[in-house]
Amino acid sequence: MTVQILPKAGNKWRDTCPTLPMMELEKPLKISDLIRELRQQLNLSQEEFAAKLGVSLRTVNRWENGSTVPSQMALKLIEEMLQKMGKPGKRLLNEYFPKAEQRQDF
């Protein structure tokens, strides 16, 4: 099925356009939630957390506000921090990095 993107014409066109099925999640996963929860579990300020990752305080603040997302390198460092945390980190890994957990099983 091909979906044609039409110019913005208000809500009326949505009724006549075919749409792709939407995946439903129990809880929308946001990287900003992960950053905040991880930082709080480590009992770190945004500034201390930023120093551990080698980024600025402003960068961590933007991550937590959802205005930007971490780079792939920062995500890898965050994943490594979670792996070192034991049980609390494992729960967050399963929630936000399910593929990372699968890699560890092999």
Domain membership of residue 57 (yes or no) is yes
Domain membership of residue 36 (yes or no) is yes
Domain membership of residue 9 (yes or no) is no
Kindly tell me if the per-residue pLDDT of 56 is higher than 70.
yes
Round to whole Å and give the CA distance between 6 and 73.
37
pLDDT, position 92 = 86
Domain of residue 59, CATH code: 1.10.260.40
Domain membership of residue 93 (yes or no) is yes
Domain that includes residue 71, residue range: 28-105
DSSP letter (8 states) at residue 17: S
DSSP letter (8 states) at residue 14: G
Kindly tell me if the per-residue pLDDT of 105 is higher than 50.
no
pTM greater than 0.75: no
pLDDT, position 29 = 62
Residue 7's Cβ-count burial label (10 Å; 0-12, 13-18, 19+) is exposed
Q: Which carries the bigger pLDDT value, residue 81 or residue 13?
A: 81
Place of tokens 């092999």: 106
